[in-house]
Structure 1
Amino acid sequence: MKESFSDTPTTRIQLDNYGFAGMDASQLGAIKSAADYYQIPVTATQIYGMTGLAFLFVIDENLVQPNAGPPEPEIFRLARNIGLEIEGFHQYAEGVTFSKLQSEAWEKARMAINSNKPVFAKNLGQDNQTSVIIAYDSIGYYIDSWHTGYEHSQEVIPWNLLGLVHCPCMNCANERKIAEPRDSTSGLISLHWADTAPSLDEMTAFKEALQFAIRLNDDGSYKWSGKMYFVGSRAFEEWINGFERNNVYKFDFALIIEVVNEARYQAILFLADIKDKLNGKLKQSVDEAIMTYTEISSRCNTLKSRFPYEQPRELFNDTETEDIIAILREISMLERKALTYLKEMYVALS
């Protein structure tokens, strides 16, 4: 696709008091952005816990996607429990269907913004990241994202580039000039808008989040749109296999470990907060889970500190690989242990 944005736009329609709430799990950042817009008093920690993402780790078969999962439709369904009704598109498509969905999403996005509803989309700006759409004109979308503040980041993204990862910032534009051409006839169309909804009581919402996290962890993997995704301890094992095959790059690892580290840290905070509202055996299981997630978080933080974002696109040396594999094996075992406590909590709440 050409980089020119020379068409003359019509009046820009903007949603006031709406911006990206920076979180490593950017799909949750979008939920927080929508909650802030509606002045719903929910913290990032509560969003992590009540969507189950605090207790999940999902990695794609190629070991490269920092926000591959868990499935957004289920996360957004659980967001209703904290007071947000999220609707939209989340579908991989090709050819005519892809173009049709781009057009339908464009229509729905404008309708939502015109109705003062917040809108966000994945794979609009950065790959595997969710950006909030703060405005539109006749050409396309204006976003707020991790790249806001970079030169040209405030420019418009044509509406027919939804799903094609087209951040307008200068750094991304320069990368596209030297990258392999991207297929412009297929991709993920993932665009949503949010409205307010009655929230559930806290314990019911917590139980539903646990049910979701336990199910995905027990399954260990799932297939979506022709790709395999791995969950929980199985995901860490697949990561270890990737290191043993010497096909994990530092750049990808640094991005992904940031997301895992944030999730496990938020798991500790969420469980510590909810523990004060519990009693008996349930409280004991929460204490055990907090201790286990603290151990996991410590190891994740060690890896994040050693390989902070942004790392070069190169492989690890032998010593680095051995060290990482040893830590990932420990994390994988601890994840299995943590899952037993999640199940105890779920049974106690049933």
Structure 2
Amino acid sequence: MTGNAFTAVIDDTMTAPNIGEPEEDMFRLARHLGLDIQGFHTFGDAAEFPQLQREAWDAARTALDRGLPVFAKELDLGNETSLIYAYDADGYYTHSWHGGKGHEGSDAVIPWTELGRNYCPCSSCRARASSGDRPSDGVYTGDPGYGGFVSLHWASAAEPSDARRALGAALDFALSFSRRGAYGWGGRTFYSGPAAYGKWIGLLRSNAIQSFYMGYFIDLFHESRLYAYRFLLEASEHFDGRPGDELRTAAEHYGVIAKNFQSLNKLFPWMQPHAPIDDPDRRREAVELLTGIRQLEEEGWGLLERLLTWVR
């Protein structure tokens, strides 16, 4: 219901997966599901960044005291979401995938002044930081001394919308975002919709994308289109007549897109090395598959446009 399963987002070098997505728009759409998400999702320069950290710190403590779930990015693991489950006088305590063997110390406090600085307290990340290595890649592309990115939210229950209104809002957003084309965010240039596929195919033809990121983005797109198929199929069970038929038709189409991404995934199974794609035949086959997928996606957006007229 957030439209995320239908979006296509890549950056201009295809080295920043899961960055540049319209998260705040998707959080607003979650309201239709009965989830009211509020918080911070903004860049700040050097002068305003400490104040942003303080405001987020105060808001997080208030939300936790109310028993609300709180989550953040750029707190411990860069552009990955961690759950904040507690706080003390010094800072935050989080749950992330850095836990267990090899990540001892992950349950230690993260000073509240480290929000936006990617400070994971686990032993592995502290060792990498001590050696001068960055433990994780963040959203912010500039020097931390000149600012940073604060993304911290909390969620509370709300009255959900009816199915027709919720579906219409999700489709309307997905379609409008696909038309956005090139846009700037956080010091990078991103592409959506057909422009994303055009950029991807161009980088692949010029051998300007690493195998690692090729496999990474394929996994992301395959998963999202698989969920698009499942979402549309499930939604069809809630609508009678022509809307239900249109939903089933769209579901079948996105199922085909997911299968094509699965074929592409067989060329670049996870995980791939950080190296160029040297095999020209492999690149050529990938270009052919992506070109076909782009055409299917354009047809899919047409189906969503038609579907939207029936559920508005």
What TM-score does the superposition give when structure 1 sets the normalisation length? 0.79
Q: Distance in 2 between matches of 1:178 and 1:227?
A: 24
Cross-structure match for 2:109: 156
Matches within 5 A, 1:112-131: 112-131=63-82
Cross-structure match for 2:273: 312
Percent of pairs with identical residues? 37
Post-superposition shift, 1:157?
2.2
Post-superposition shift, 1:180?
6.2
Q: Distance in 2 between matches of 1:327 and 1:69?
A: 25
Q: Distance in 2 between matches of 1:133 and 1:101?
A: 17
Letter in 2 for 1:197: A
Cross-structure match for 2:138: none
Cross-structure match for 2:285: 323
Assess, with a 3 A threshold, how the Cα gap between structure 1 residues 148 and 81 changes in structure 2: closer, same or farther: farther
Any stretches of 5+ residues in structure 1 without a counterpart? 1-49
Counterpart contact for 2:73–2:81, Cα < 8 Å: yes
Post-superposition shift, 1:145?
2.2
Post-superposition shift, 1:306?
4.2
**Partner deviation per Cα, 1:234-287 (whole Å, 9 max, x = no partner):** 212211122223221223233332222221111111111111222333233223
Letter in 1 for 2:73: K
Cross-structure match for 1:212: 173
**Partner deviation per Cα, 1:274-314 (whole Å, 9 max, x = no partner):** 11222333233223322221121112223334434443322
Counterpart contact for 1:65–1:256, Cα < 8 Å: no
Post-superposition shift, 1:74?
0.6
Counterpart contact for 2:43–2:148, Cα < 8 Å: yes
Structure 2 counterpart SS, 1:219:
coil
Asked if residue 168 in structure 1 is aligned to residue 130 in structure 2, the reply is no
What TM-score does the superposition give when structure 2 sets the normalisation length? 0.88
Q: Distance in 1 between matches of 2:75 and 2:8?
A: 23
Post-superposition shift, 1:174?
4.2
Q: Distance in 1 between matches of 2:217 and 2:80?
A: 12
**Partner deviation per Cα, 1:85-128 (whole Å, 9 max, x = no partner):** 11111111221212221121111111111111111111223232
Matches within 5 A, 1:34-53: 50-53=1-4
Asked if residue 86 in structure 1 is aligned to residue 4 in structure 2, the reply is no
Cross-structure match for 1:179: 133
Q: Distance in 2 between matches of 1:96 and 1:133?
A: 26
**Number of residue pairs matched by the alignment:** 301
Does 104-113 or 66-75 show the bigger shift? 66-75
Q: 1:274 aligns with which of 210, 217, 235?
A: 235
Any stretches of 5+ residues in structure 2 without a counterpart? 136-141
Does 334-343 or 285-294 show the bigger shift? 285-294
Asked if residue 348 in structure 1 is aligned to residue 299 in structure 2, the reply is no
Q: Distance in 1 between matches of 2:260 and 2:66?
A: 46
Asked if residue 285 in structure 1 is aligned to residue 223 in structure 2, the reply is no
Q: Distance in 2 between matches of 1:252 and 1:232?
A: 19
Post-superposition shift, 1:233?
2.5
Structure 2 counterpart SS, 1:96:
coil
Q: 1:200 aligns with which of 154, 161, 165?
A: 161
